[in-house]
Structure 1
Amino acid sequence: MITVRRSGSRLRHALAVLLAGTLLAVAAPAGAAPDQYENAVTDSFSDTYADPAVIQGKDGWWYVYATADPLVSGDEYGMMHVARTRDWTDWEYLGTLFDETTMPSYATDETFLWAPDIRYIDGQYVLYFTVTDTTLNEGADSAVGVATADRPEGPFTPTDEPIIEPRPDDDGEGFLGTIDPAGFTDVDGQNYLYFGAYDGGFWGTPVSDDGLTATGEYTQLTLGDRYEGGYVVRHDDWYYFMGSSANCCAGPTTGYTVSAGRSRSPLGPFVDDTGQSLLDPYIGGTNVIHQNGNEFIGVGHHAIATDAAGRDWMVYHGIDRNEPWLDEPFGINRRPTLIDPIDWIDGWPRVRAGAGPSSGPQTPPVTESDLGIVSEDLTAGGMRGFVRGPEDPLAGATAKLRGHARTAAAAPADRVRVRFDARSDGGPVTVRLGTRRDGAVVTADPGAGTLTVETASGGARQVATDELPAAPDWQTVVVEVDGPEVLVQASESDLNDPAAEVRTRHEGLSLPSAPVRFRGHGAGGAVLDNLTVAEPATEATEMVPVPEPGRQLGGDEFDAPDLADWTWVRENPDAEVSGGQLTWPVEEGELVGGENPAGVLLRDAPSDEDWIVETRVDLDLDIRGNQNFQQAGLVVYRGDDDFARLSKVAINDTRQVEFGREMPEADGLSFGGSIVGRPGQDSTWLRIAHHVNAEGEHLYRAGSSNDGETWTWGAVWAFEPGETPRIGLISQGGASPDVSAQFDYVRFYETTWPEA
């Protein structure tokens, strides 16, 4: 409970010799300057580095963990991987996390270890991971395993049993998807674990103080068939569930996206920015990241890291659509790790303010301190008053403080962020920003179990406190003052999961430029490490532009019965125009795959310039019965095996808007989809925007609306240079139950394509 009282006064090369435990140092990519990164950040040491998890270790390094794919083409499967970096440009690959001798005892010989998540809990590193097949049942029965280590690189020792055992499905004939774990700690110190998949939805449960045992009932957070790769953070008193949707691994047609919902509770219910629940069949989700037309597609399954300036970064995997597969063995997706900053806009996380994955040199996360401070050695300069502390088995060299210390230079006025690790067995630590008359004083007192913030503006003071849960050794403390806003957090993992937090506002507070002062109380003093002082990051406050309709370029209002200007591919005689609508019974077949019995109604695109096509479609997907994959909507069509379709679709129990892409690939076909917003229960409005890029590719971006006014824009699919695809309509996916789609119009508009 927080109480307030006032008083007056980121060069790929062969790595075939890599073995588990090998240390490899690699340099920054040649295309980026020393102070820049370039996606994909893991290309210097790996071909694929998927499902990344991240933590800043107590030694100051950033550790990034990845799923059990071959690290490089021609390599064998590794039992999950770990690498580290200090600046997100230079990397060390450290090896695999498990081998045949350290695998969980309950894992079968055929199992894979997927999707790691890393936390620092109760004085040790706790690794959660997916075990795809266990000895506990017959048949594939995924579970969540847990292992511990004294150091972030391991060695990790798994427990004798999974923390989340395989869960039978409702029919008792199989098992629910129990994969993709993610931990979280709440402000009351309670630990949680999240897990799940399309088969059964995502769930959460409380876990024990050491993070190794599930201690409560499982709570369902999302409906099945929409989210996997879930991750939870706390931001501005809200809990955000972010999950990946559609397919992770379809090579050049991978359409992964990340969407979010938020709640006032870590166990939900989570709703999107329109108030739609993630448990509703018309399932909600606010877009966080989607592919934007550059080389990266299939962006998702993420973690979040916070840099020294307080900027949140999405750490995620993507696929280069020009090089989607490992050369050997072919068929494994090449999914390296990417990073990009998050902007919190109107209370929602948006990667690069909605621009999506970056390409080319970028400004990296802030990892070093201002004011000349050497974060890993506080006695080396920039600080006055620290002496060398004891060598710590986790942190290495530390600094000790008895009495007072301060920065040698003054921090800037008004906006300052301080972050440091403090040993919990030391005495209280006080940080002072500004002056006694205009400033903030923060005291973390492990002995008393309190986190206290006292602010002063013109002498007028106010005090806020929170309970500081006990920790066996290290805790991270963050103090951020931004004008009148003061945020103080204490945590073990520092992954947007504070165990204690004070957030207060002191009207009129304006910090003068002054040194940052520290005090270590008690006879033993305080032991600190990894200190940074930085100006808080400035984030975008508005989303990047999206395509907007301009002058109408024609279309069809369906007020004449002959469908002039339209051409059928496999005409459906039951489709008719009447009363200003095209009514088209949903057909049995569809376009996906080698056999294509379904009809397509086509017309020429207006030009090779920038334009938008829009339609409004009604399709009743609420009839009892199996409507799986019944759908209707727009199609961009070069042929039965080269198209993109945007449709309102039933996917098992959910109703979604999918932007699917099929194209020839190797000796067959590749199909995948991306999710774009939420359909209306009655009418759904669909838009596709067109653009030709500098390489002559035709780019198509999808948008949807459930009210005709508010639009969600999502993924971009590319068609190779050449013949301009035609534009059309589809109504397909299964004729039972009997249902028809009604199209009100098809309209084309001029537009301007915003650059990513």
Structure 2
Amino acid sequence: MRPTVLAAAVAVLSGLVLAPAPAVAEAPAPATYTNPVAGDVVDTFPDPVTIRARDGFWYAYGTQNPVFQSRGETGERMLPILRSADLVNWEYAGEVFTQETQPAWHDGSRLWAPDVRYVDGRYYLYYSVPGRNTVGLATAPTPTGPWTDEGPTLPEPSGCPTGGIDQALFTDTDGTHWLYWGSYDTICVARTNADATHIEGPVTQVARGRRMEGAFVVRHEEFYYLFYSDAGCCDGAYSGYQVKAGRSTSPTGPFTDDEGVDLMALTSKGAIVAGANGNRWIGPGHNGFLTDLAGQDWLVYHGIPARDPDLARVPGIDRQLTRRPMLLDRLDWIDGWPVLRAGAGPSEGPQRAPVTAPVAGSTFNENGLAGMHPVGRGWSVEHEPDARGYATHAGGHRTSYLLSTGRAPADVRAEADLRVTDGAAGLVVGHRDRNHQVVAWLDRDRHALVTELGRGHAEEVTPLPAGFRFDSWHNVAVEVRGTRLTVEVTEDRMGDPVALQERHVPRSAARRGAVGVAARGAGVDADNVSAVPLYRPVTERVPEPEVGELLFGDEFDGAEVPGTTPDSPWRWVRGPAAGLTMTGDELSWPTGNNELHLGNNTAPVLLRDAPAGDFTVETRIEFAPDQVAQQAGILLYENDDRYFKLVHSVLPLHRGGGALLHVSEFGKEGERPTTTPPTPVANAPMFGGPAADTMWLRLSFHADTEHGENEVRAATSRDGRHWVHNGVWTLPTRDDLDIGLVSMNRTGAVAEFDYVRVYRAGFSHTR
């Protein structure tokens, strides 16, 4: 059980725009939370990103939306802001712009997809201006403003073939800033100028795919990871959004998925981080990233509540907006890849809360130096609007310490915000005396990160980037796990360290001890000193679905076309299909000028009864389409307007100069009663793993009798052994589903079905 510790609790705001945080009361850290976080504060909060500010609070920023419809507001808030002391309990903290302060160059555009960073002592808020097809930048001295308009960051044209939206900044270890942006259907990256206000130099395309967007890059160990979302973000219960990832050894790529497929390849991709799992959340996507005080990473993202997916109409907007509250879940790194909750997907019930309260340390916001013990002269507490209280040292160049009165554990994550105008500032871990401690120094004179392990051990020096500003706040984090020491230096704790150091720690140094800061010189400031037990990583994924016993199948090794003889288990809707033949061991089915989509239901469908209970249907298909919309695969079919579909299909690349994408398309069609007026028939896809001329396709069915739903999960493979498991589509249960095959749309391609096999089970619950 986690120890009871000091945690900040937030006072309820009386206004909409905040000044720096007021004094807070002591409160225990929450043990659990339940998604959506901030669901009782705002009605919706799309495309969320978070940052831990110098005042010790977390701040979240979201897309312009009607966040207070339930309070009677008919309009929207422009880039709304939330604040929390613990990542669980949130309060409204204002917005970046109002109608009165919105810059004229926006031409009244709505503002989307913020990305927040801390650069050279100021908060940078990048945001999309879709009406101008560009990215704007506002900066501020505190996380709630006042905001200064810095204008657009992209030239016109930007050099990227797709929209100038969904941007994110990343800072590399050499101090270079990179800006990622793009949507519909390409993601690009370019280096920025030194102050990160606009791009310069060549623009590189790093990823493309159907509705690929929402880039967010972090560095983990030796790789750069590009998180992104694809399919559709904002179509209510028909949103097929998922978070996926690619990784590279360079911030400019090439990025590849977990099967080695280049994110620039003209196919759908794997490495699914988060997808719908059949619980209340649909379309999880457009993520941010944060790390709690224990070192555990978390994904912040939005999801759509299945039973209440749509907002009321907003005056002046020509479509119905989708409700997208902010979700928070643990992000695990397993076998070198990020995955949400070890593969379980978005959470619905109570979850272990992030660690946000230290067992030792101080934010210096209340009670001066209470909880810390000066060793040496010159320590005091000062105040400024952003950091609020902070410790400052004005002594000489002899080393002086400010240490916690309590001890931290041996396996520990400790961190502090440090600023140096003269001398060196250090984070101290495991202090028992000057000869038995670990100190990670920001050494201004040597322009380096320097670690000391006590008497008798050599220091280790890591140069800092040439433009490193010691007079700006930087976060220094130290992790000790066993005898392994890891140190990273960042500006904003956003997975983009400007310095990394790893080294062995002797067991004599890896012990319990005080945490604190050290100073050499008369210009050292420190804030947000904390130490907590280091998190325990999850190293195994939840079990993937496995098929059970074979119930029945058809190997297509006969001479008769299925569904054309009295004893055939198959039957036709609008068939038999023209040109269909049996080749001796395959069902050969040419595509035709027909369709199964919304009101155009002209395609032949080959059906047979499904078994009772949960089951998986699998086929192996050889299919090499070369024209837009050609597709072939399997169905779970109720009627022409209610079905689930998994096909290899061809789609155009938006602004791709005629390029075609081969995708694993997992779609559903059915009624959408929540819209105003209700939509009789709707259709939307998710996109699964990479497509290939030879593919294995699976649809797994589960009857959710508790909620009255049919749940279907897709999986694809290019070798029959390694599977990419997709998200889950659901429809309310009505009539029975049949197993079906289709080969349709434009003529010119032929689908060769090797078999259809039906297995028991194959659907796993990961709620």
1:654 equivalent in alignment to 2:661: yes
Determine the structure 1 residue equivalent to 2:172.
186
Deviation for aligned residue 1:612: 1.3
Task: Give yes or no for contact 1:180–1:197 (8 Å, CA) kept in 2.
Answer: yes
Aligned partners of 1:76 and 1:154: how far apart in 2? Answer: 22
Separation in 2, partners of 1:656, 1:508: 53
Specify the alignment match of 1:156 in structure 2: 147
Tell me what 2:5 maps to: none
Q: Quick one: which amino acid aligns to residue 282 of structure 2?
A: I
Does structure 2 conserve the Cα–Cα contact (< 8 Å) formed by 1:50 and 1:336?
yes
How far the C-alpha of 1:294 sits from its partner, in A, is: 0.1
- 1:405 pairs with 2:402: yes
Give the conservation status (yes or no) of the 8 Å contact 1:491–1:500: yes
Contact 1:247 1:255 (C-alpha < 8 Å) held by counterparts: yes
Q: Distance in 1 between matches of 2:157 and 2:588?
A: 44
Q: 1:595: Cα distance to partner?
A: 2.0
Letter in 1 for 2:584: G
Deviations 1:106-134 (A, max 9, x none): 2223x211111111112211111111123
Q: Partners of 2:685 and 2:384 in 1: how far apart?
A: 49
What is aligned with 2:535?
537
Compared CA separation, residues 33 and 662, structure 1 to 2 (3 A): farther
The whole-number CA distance in structure 2 between the counterparts of 1:165 and 1:334 is 33
Deviations for 1:148-190, whole angstroms, at most 9, x for unmatched residues?
1111112322224x111343899xxxx7311101011111111
Within 5 Å, give how 1:596-607 maps onto structure 2: 596-607=601-612
Give the drift of 1:233.
0.4
Report the counterpart of residue 663 of structure 1 in structure 2: 670
1:499-510 residue pairs with structure 2 within 5 A?
499-505=498-504
1:29-50 residue CA offsets vs partner (Å, 9 max, x unmatched)? xxx9953211111211211110
8 Å CA contact 2:18, 2:144 repeated in 1 = no
Q: 1:454 to 1:751 in 2, by over 3 A?
A: farther
Partners of 2:537 and 2:197 in 1: how far apart? Answer: 37
Displacement, 1:102? 2.6
Q: Offset at 1:289? A: 0.6
Q: Does 1:229 align with 2:192?
A: no
C-alpha change, 1:656 and 1:438, in structure 2 (3 Å) is: farther
1:395 aligns with 2:375: no
User: Offset at 1:459?
Assistant: 5.4
Could you report, residue by residue, the CA deviation over 1:688-743 in whole angstroms, capped at 9, with x for unpaired residues? Answer: 112222324221111111111101111111121332211211212322xx111111
Identity percentage over the alignment? 37
What residue in structure 2 maps to residue 480 of structure 1? 479
Q: Distance in 2 between matches of 1:121 and 1:378?
A: 29
Letter in 2 for 1:392: E
Match of 2:339 in 1: 350
1:323-722 correspondence to structure 2 within 5 Å: 323-329=308-314, 331-371=320-360, 373=362, 376-377=365-366, 379=368, 381-385=370-374, 387-401=379-393, 403-413=400-410, 415-425=411-421, 427-434=423-430, 440-455=438-453, 461=458, 463-467=460-464, 469-505=468-504, 511-524=510-523, 526-560=524-558, 561-563=560-562, 564-571=568-575, 572-608=577-613, 610-621=614-625, 623=626, 627-652=627-652, 653-665=660-672, 666-680=678-692, 682-693=693-704, 694-722=706-734
Distance 2:183 2:312 in 1: 29
CA contact (8 A) 1:144 1:181 kept: yes
Match of 2:245 among 252, 256, 260: 260
Q: Work out the CA distance in 1 between the residues paired with 2:407 and 2:16.
A: 47
Q: How does 1:15-30 map to 2 (within 5 A)?
A: 21=17
SS of residue paired to 1:70:
coil
State how far apart, in whole Å, the 2-side matches of 1:147 and 1:33 are: 33
Distance 1:218 1:188 in 2: 19
Structure 2: how far apart are the matches of 1:430 and 1:92? 34
Distance in 1 (CA, whole Å) between partners of 2:78 and 2:192 is 25
CA distance in 2, matches of 1:33, 1:327: 36
Q: Secondary structure at the match of 2:342?
A: helix
Give the TM-score normalised by the residue count of structure 1.
Answer: 0.89
- CA 549–224 in structure 1, closer or farther in 2 if over 3 Å, else same: closer
CA distance 1:505–1:215, shift in 2 (3 Å) = farther
Q: How many residues align?
A: 710
C-alpha distance in 1, partners of 2:350/2:326?
Answer: 15
CA distance in 2, matches of 1:471, 1:214: 24
Residues 283, 224 of structure 1: alpha-carbon distance in 2 compared, 3 angstrom cutoff: closer
- For 2:374 and 2:453, the matched residues in 1 are separated by 24
**Distance (Å, rounded) in 1 between the aligned partners of 2:517 and 2:94:** 39
Shift of 1:515: 2.1
Within 5 A, what are the aligned runs for 1:28-427?
34-73=30-69, 74-109=73-108, 111-134=109-132, 142-160=133-151, 162-167=152-157, 176-199=162-185, 201-329=186-314, 331-371=320-360, 373=362, 376-377=365-366, 379=368, 381-385=370-374, 387-401=379-393, 403-413=400-410, 415-425=411-421, 427=423
Structure 2's unaligned 5+ residue stretches are 1-11, 22-27, 563-567, 653-659, 673-677
Alpha-carbon distance between aligned partners in 1 of 2:724 and 2:275, rounded to the nearest angstrom: 11
Residues 578-636 of structure 1: CA distance to partner in whole angstroms, max 9, x if unpaired? 2211111123232221221112111111112x221111111103x4xxx2222111111
* Structure 1 contact 661–673 (Cα < 8 Å) conserved: yes
| 1:750 has 2:760 as partner | yes
CA–CA separation in structure 2 for the residues paired with 1:341 and 1:419 = 20
Tell me how far 1:372 sits from its aligned partner: 6.7
Check 1:479–1:85 CA distance in 2 against 1; reply closer, same or farther (3 A cut).
same
**Structure 1 gap ranges (5+):** 1-14, 26-31, 135-141
- Alpha-carbon distance between aligned partners in 1 of 2:755 and 2:68, rounded to the nearest angstrom: 50
Partners of 1:105 and 1:176 in 2: how far apart? Answer: 24
Higher share of residues assigned strand = 2
Question: Residue type of the partner of 1:84?
Answer: R
The farther-off stretch of 287-296 and 368-377 is 368-377
Shift of 1:437: 7.1
- 2:444, 2:668 → 1: CA distance? 55
Contact kept, 8 Å, 1:376 with 1:531, in 2: the verdict is no
Aligned mates of 1:277, 1:506 — CA distance in 2: 39
Contact 1:611–1:748 under 8 Å retained in 2: yes
Specify whether residues 556 and 426 from structure 1 end up closer, same or farther in structure 2 by C-alpha distance, changes over 3 A only. Answer: farther
Query: 1:378 touches 1:531 (CA, 8 Å); kept in 2?
Result: no
8 Å Cα contact 2:29/2:356 also seen in 1: no
Task: Report the CA distance shift for 1:22/1:507 in structure 2 as closer, same or farther (over 3 A).
Answer: closer
C-alpha separation in 1, matches of 2:666 and 2:341: 22
Name the SS of the counterpart of 2:260 in structure 1. coil
Deviation at 1:333, TM superposition (A): 0.3
CA shift in 2, pair 1:304/1:426, >3 Å: farther
Shift of 1:258: 0.9
**Counterpart Cα distance in 2 of 1:309 and 1:589:** 57
Partners of 2:689 and 2:156 lie apart in 1 by: 32
Q: How much has 1:639 moved relative to structure 2?
A: 1.3
TM-score normalized by the length of structure 2: 0.88
Deviations 1:633-653 (A, max 9, x none): 111111111111111121212
After superposition, the Cα gap between the structure-2 partners of 1:509 and 1:699, relative to the gap in structure 1 and judged at 3 Å, is farther
Q: Over the residues paired in the alignment, what is the CA RMSD in angstroms?
A: 2.6
The alpha-carbon distance between structure 1 residues 517 and 19, as it changes in their structure 2 partners (threshold 3 A), is closer
Equivalents in 1 of 2:297, 2:242: separation in Å? 18
Contact 1:371–1:409 (Cα < 8 Å) also in 2: yes
Instruction: Describe the shift of the 1:20–1:389 C-alpha distance in structure 2 as closer, same or farther (beyond 3 A).
Output: closer
- Determine the C-alpha separation between the residues in 2 that align with 1:724 and 1:454: 69
1:502 counterpart letter in structure 2: Q
Q: 8 Å contact 1:417–1:480 — kept in the other structure?
A: yes
Query: Cα deviation per residue 1:418-454 (whole Å; 9 max; x = unaligned)?
Result: 1111123254122343467776331112343210123
Report the CA distance between 1:383 and its aligned residue. Answer: 2.2
Equivalents in 2 of 1:744, 1:590: separation in Å?
23
Could you tell me how far apart the structure 1 residues matched to 2:309 and 2:679 are? 15
C-alpha displacement of 1:472: 4.0
